[in-house]
Structure 1
Amino acid sequence: MHGAYHGEYKVPGGKLVVVDLDTEDGVLRGVRVAGDFFLEPDEAILEIDRALEGAPVDTDAAGLAARIDAALPPGTQMFGLTSEGVGIAIRRALAHATDWTDYDWQLIHEPPQSPALHMALDEVLTAEVAAGHRPPTLRVWEWGAPAVVIGSFQSLRNEVDPAAAERHGIQVVRRISGGGAMFIEPGNTITYSLSVPDGLVQGLSFADSYAYLDDWVLGALGDMGIKAWYQPLNDIATDAGKIAGAAQKRMVGSAGGGGAVLHHVTMAYDIDADRMTEVLRIGREKLSDKGTKSAKKRVDPLRRQTGLAREAVIERMIASFRGRYGLAEGSLTEDELTRAKELAETKFGTAEWTARVP
C-alpha cells in the first residue's frame, strides 16, 4: 500500500529503488524501501527502513545516506543499490517527482538544419515544454554545416581560432547551456536534445540529474555492445575514453509555474582530430598528451566500437528509447519553426550573441 508519498529512482548503472512513506510533524514516518536490487544480509532492508524513520523531512540525500550507512550491519553487500540512491528516491518522493513512463514522449528528427537554427530550436522547444504546450521531446539533430558550438559562458577568443574556422568553412555558434566547446562535422557526430518537464528531475541535485537523464543512452550503447558509464559531471565514457559530453539549461514556466530542463548531448562518431585541434584552441591542450598529433588521427569511438553506420547507431538509440518509455513520431509546429527561425536570425546568428563573452 502506498503512503502519502511515493518515489522511484533508478541508480545509474544499477537497479530501481522504490520508496513509500508518510510524514508527521516534520519527520519521515512509515518508510518502506523496495526494488529489484540485491542486498545481503536479508535483514539489512529492515535496518534501512528503521534508519530513515524520524529523519527530518528537509534532510538532503547525502544526510539520508549517512543515516543508512551508520545503521547497516557490518559486511552488508549492496548490488545495484546505493545508500545515496535511497536518499534520492526519498527526495523525489517528497517532491512528487514524475517518472519517464508518466509521459507521452515525442520524437523530432528533421532533415539537416543550420547550426544557429539548432540553437534556437532547443530554446523554443524547451520553452514550449515548460509552458505545457508540448509533450516531453527527444530531438535528434542533423547538421547542415560544420560548426563549433561553444558553451554559454565560454570566451570566444579562448576557445576558437577564427582564421582556422574560416579556412575550413566552420560556423561558430553559442548555445544557451554551459559547458565546453563541441566540434561538429555533419555525419561524424550524433547530437540529441531532451526537453523535459522539471517534474522528471524533482528531488535530484544538478549533478544527479545529468546521470539520470543519460541513463537511457547508456542502456542503448550497452545494447550495441559498448560498456559505457556516466563520468561526473557531464561526460559519457568507455574504456576507449570519453565518447560524449552533455550540457543542461533550466527554464521556468510562464508566470513562474512549472518549468523544463534542456539536456543535450553530442557524441563523437568519427571526427577529424587534426581539423579539430586546428580550430579549437583548447583541443590542442586536451589532445597534446594523448598521442593524437600524428597525421590524420580520428576521434572515432562510436564508429570503431559499434562497427555500425551512423544512421544505424541513431536508429538503435531511438528504438532503445521507444522500448523503454514509448516514443511517438512528431514534428515541429509551424509556430515553433517560425519562432526558431526568428531567434536564429536575431540572436543565435548574431555576432553580438556569439561574442557575448569575447
Structure 2
Amino acid sequence: MHGEYKIPGGKLVVVDLEVEGGALRDVRVAGDFFLEPDEAILAIDAALEGAPATTDTVALAARIDGALPESTVMLGLTTEGIAVAVRRALAHATEWSDYDWQLVHDVPQSPALHMALDEVITAEVAAGRRPPTLRVWEWDSPAVIIGSFQSLRNEVDAEGVDRHGVTVVRRISGGGAMFAEPSSTITYSLAVPQSLVSGLSFADSYAYLDDWVLEALGDMGIKAWYQPLNDIATEVGKIAGAAQKRVVGPDGGPGAVLHHVTMSYDIDADKMLDVLRIGKEKMSDKGTKSAKKRVDPLRRQTGLPRQAVIERMIESFRNRHGLTRGAVTPEELARAKELVRTKFSNDEWTARVP
C-alpha cells in the first residue's frame, strides 16, 4: 500500500507498507522533508512496524513520538503528518496527480445559479461522469450567501439587503454567511472524488484542499496559512473562508467532496456590516472588536487587478496539478436551472431555518 500526504505549509511524506495479520509490516517512510539525526528515520519505521492496521492517527503519532531520539529535529515534517500518510495508504487514497483536472471559468451568473451548479457538478463527479473540477465563479450581482444551517433572520439584515439590492441565497454546505460583490470577491469551488481525502479527518481535509491556494498566494508574495477550521489568514487579517459538503455517490458509493472558498479582493466593509448581522459574541470569539479589521483584502496585499489574481491562481494550480479548460455541459446547465426554479430561488429553501 502506498500513501502520500503534503503537510500544509510543509513537505511531502510518502509511506509504503503492507498489512499482514491485521498489522503494519515492511513500513518505509520517505519524502522531501528534513530530519536529524539520520537514525530518526529508522526509529519512525520501527515505531510503525507491527501497529494494528486499525490504529488511528493520534495513536500512530504517539507511537512515533515515543520512539524518536530526544535530539530529533524535524523541518517540514510532523509525526501527525506521517500518521496521516499511513492512514491514507491504508484507505487506498488517491493523489492530485491521479486525475485530469478540468477548469470551468464561465461568464457572470446569478447567485442562485452558482448554488445550483455546485450541487450539480459535485453530483456528476460523485457519479464518475465528470473529472475533478476547479470552478472559478463570476458574479452578475451582489449576494449574501448563508450556510445550510444558519438562521436567516439571525444572519441577514433584511432592510440592509433591500437597500443595497443584494440577493440572499442559501448554499448546501455549512459554515457562516458571506457577502460577495462582482468586483470585490474571488470565489472558487473544488469538486473532488472522496478518495482524494481518504484517510484525512474532516478538519484535515480543509487544510489539504486549501494547500494549493496557499502556495498560489505565496507565489504572489503573500504569506498565508490555514487557520482551523475553515479560514485562510495572513498576519494582517483573514482573507478567505471555506466550506464543504460531502455528496454520496450512486447506490451509496464513495461519492465526492465539494470544497468552496470565498476570498476578499476589495471588500466594502461598511456595506458588509449593513447587510450582515455580525453578533458581539462572534466578534469576541475572533479576538477583535471590529469586523472591519477581521478581513484584509487581496487588492491591498497584492496590488494586482482582480483578474490578474485569478489568472495567477489558475496558473499555480495548473503548474502543480495540471488543468485543462472545460465547460458546464448543456445537460448540467439544464439541471442547474431546474434546481434554481425548484430550490435555490425559493423561500422554502432560503428560509428553511427562519
TM > 0.5: yes
- What percent of counterpart residues are identical? 77
| Map of 2:27 onto structure 1 | 31
State the 4+ residue runs in structure 1 displaced beyond 4 angstroms: 283-293, 297-300
- Local SS of the residue matching 1:281: coil
What is the CA distance between 1:299 and its match in structure 2?
4.8
Change (3 A) 1:308 1:285: farther
Aligned partners of 2:224 and 2:234 also within 8 Å: yes
Aligned partners of 1:31 and 1:49 also within 8 Å: yes
Match of 1:11 among 7, 31, 37: 7
| Map of 1:197 onto structure 2 | 193
Change (3 A) 1:334 1:283: farther
Q: Does 1:168 align with 2:164?
A: yes
1:264-275 pair list within 5 angstroms: 264-275=260-271
1:52-76: CA deviation from partner (whole Å, max 9, x where unpaired): 0111101111110000000000021
Q: Does 1:49 align with 2:57?
A: no
1:139-218 pair list within 5 angstroms: 139-218=135-214
- Local SS of the residue matching 2:195: helix
Match of 2:17 among 13, 21, 44: 21
1:100-111 pair list within 5 angstroms: 100-111=96-107
Aligned residue identity for 1:85: G
CA distance, structure 2, for counterparts of residue 15 and residue 49 of structure 1: 18
| Map of 2:243 onto structure 1 | 247
1:330-341 pair list within 5 angstroms: 330-341=326-337
What is the CA distance between 1:287 and its match in structure 2?
6.2
Unaligned runs of 5+ in 2: none
What is the CA distance between 1:258 and its match in structure 2?
2.7
1:291-337: CA deviation from partner (whole Å, max 9, x where unpaired): 567xxx99552001100000000000000000001000000100000
Change (3 A) 1:312 1:285: farther
**What is the root-mean-square deviation in Å for CA atoms of aligned residues?**
1.4
What is the CA distance between 1:284 and its match in structure 2?
7.0
TM-score, structure 2 normalization: 0.97
Unaligned runs of 5+ in 1: none
CA distance, structure 2, for counterparts of residue 171 and residue 208 of structure 1: 33
CA distance, structure 2, for counterparts of residue 81 and residue 291 of structure 1: 36
Aligned partners of 2:4 and 2:95 also within 8 Å: yes
CA distance, structure 1, for counterparts of residue 16 and residue 324 of structure 2: 31
Q: Does 1:315 align with 2:311?
A: yes
CA distance, structure 1, for counterparts of residue 164 and residue 282 of structure 2: 21
CA distance, structure 2, for counterparts of residue 284 and residue 268 of structure 1: 22
TM-score, structure 1 normalization: 0.96
Aligned residue identity for 1:263: H
1:272-291 pair list within 5 angstroms: 272-282=268-278, 289-291=288-290
